[in-house]
Structure 1
Amino acid sequence: MTEALLVLEDGRAFRGTAYGAVGETFGEAVFTTGMTGYQETLTDPSFHRQVVVQTAPQIGNTGVNGEDDESDRIWVAGYVVRDPARRPSSWRATASLDERLATEGVVGIAGVDTRALTRHLRSRGAMRVGISSVTTDPAELRERVLSQPEMLGADLSAEVTTGSRYTVAAEGEHRYTVAALDLGIKRNVARRLAARGVTTHIFPATSTVDDLLAVSPDAVFFSPGPGDPATADHPVALAQDVMRRRVPLFGICFGSQILGRALGFGTYKLAYGHRGINQPVLDKTTGKVEVTSHNHGFAVEAPLNQVIDTDFGGVEVSHVCLNDNVVEGLRAKDVPAFTVQYHPEAAAGPHDADYLFDRFVELVEKKG
């Protein structure tokens, strides 16, 4: 087995063996707590330029297949696991995980004490990292790590968006049309809308409001995606234009941060972010607590318990993370717009927040 080395920007080093492609990679080290859904994680565009540490010790048990991808490629910059499966065990598997990683050139490392690494990131915060299976010198690798760009200030939507518009048709009877701005969209978003009779037109991130309105949408959707929302001035202006025209608007994750900025709020980088499929969130509208899927390193800064006066009328925080009181959703009271910071489209789950797509459809119905 080929030796591999992981070095964080603060100098902490871990040794293991190469997993996936042999080579060298860099990115922001983040951990995700999901015990299932590693294929969906790997193919989520929101993980672009991030090296993902899996806290679940055994990864790859069910291999990979051609049905569970959330996009057309793996987006993570690197992958860190403790105990990879020697062979997949699933009737759905078409290849092993390490074969898929190697095929797509994704450099990983296995045999790492991921518990120690996670505890380090949990106390020190997400930071730049390098993985190499071509050098064994931590000092040498750290020098290259320190030369890499940070996630703060990163404008990445253009690197993950679609090159041209495409359409996902409604299942059964067509009821409504949605124009979706692709900032790093996952396939399950359009699937959840299609199940409700919605035809979704997915547009490149550089699209104008005229582009979106050309399909006569009943509503507009802003997708999840990677990077620092403080850099996304074009989508922010686009969201403001949509709200001025009073077209129903829904934003998820990065889309939520964009709408937050459009409403006049600031955004900030979390110390280590929320990533995984077991995050508790309070829906303040119903008082119910949901177990939810998260993948975000930035958040909106807004008062939790008051209606805030904005250029678009009153806005209130609708959802709150119960782990740390981070804003997890906004609701505009005077224009038809709302957001959530997490992932109701959750693949591979959980599905507690799937009702939010019903809430989106209800917003369209009320507007009509």
Structure 2
Amino acid sequence: MTTIRLPAASGAIEPYTLTGKPLPPPKAGTAPRFPRVAYAAAHVVVDPLADNDPFLDTAFDWERTLAFRHHLWDLGFGVAEAMDTAQRGMGLSWPDALELSKRAIAEAKTRPGAVIACGAGTDQLEPGPSVTIDDVIAAYEAQVEAIEAAGGKIILMASRALARAARGPDDYARVYGRILSGVRQPVVLHWLGEMFDPALAGYWGSTDHMAAMETALAIIGAHADKVDGIKISLLSAEKEIAMRRRLPAGVKMYTGDDFNYAELIAGDAEGHSHALLGIFDAIAPVASAALERLGAGDEEAFHNLLGPTVPLSRHIFKAPTRFYKTGVVFLAFLNGHQDHFLMAGGQQGARSLIHFAELFRLADAARCLADPDRAAARMASLLKLGGIDQ
């Protein structure tokens, strides 16, 4: 067994012996079958050797970025592309997001059955006092048109510009009504809570989530034929279940709750949630195995596999929640999906060594380290930068 010296919350340096047993790799050529629709929101890999200013512009390693999408497809997941996990609005601009979406859509077309949906928002439009509702509509329409022209399905992302410009629920009804009336195929709506993005506080026209839910439900009810489902990211199982039970027939609830996803996906006597989760990027092999067991009717095995990942996810998504991308990319580094721990906008510096050390322990306990020796060596390389030798 491998032992590594890790910093503790007290500041002490303590030995830690890895105990987790990696899952066996999936059988080649077998496509996992899930009882839920499951999207993983995927991260991007930057080019560490590009001569650029990483705080101002981003150079991508397209080969590694797209290889990670194939990793997710191999495990049975759909790819939710160019979402906040890909640092949308935190290092990934709209032109970059469109290029990423086009490349990923093209890759999906090389694989029979590969599922992909891409985020369309208004992030080319800087929020401000002069921005009008018509400006928001035009920005949404431009992104939707570009992604649909590339052959992509739409995830309609929440808009910072709309949150700033709207004067109440009627403005949301007007914007969403216009966009939904024009899309080519049903879309996934995305209600991203202010804990993920403070600029989205008061979305749907109210700071009261239950009042905001009424507006969202009214919009969905008026355009149910154009809505595949809604992903809500409020980190509240109670609010998600309350909304899930009121959705029109045929409209899916996609959990975006990275704190409570296991119980929400399992569901209850009145229904269940599907999934569109950033944490599935980081825990894809374990989540895939758990969903297969759920599909086989073995709910106990589902919880035994997925349950231990929840403390890991809650740690990665701890406040300030918007920095969760750092933990996701760190796990990709530990697991060999990229050879470095650099991120767009320098976001690798958004968490502390103490945070990374606890993430390492939790990932080990959740069987989310594919090769413990490699993971320990890579963890040691980060610790050395902080003055901790092994």
Tell me the TM-score range normalised by the shorter chain: under 0.3
Which fold has the larger relative contact order, with Cα–Cα distance below 8 Å and residues 6 or more apart in sequence?
Answer: 2
**Higher percent of residues as helix:** 2
Higher share of residues assigned strand: 1
The TM-score, its normalising length taken from structure 1, stands at: 0.27
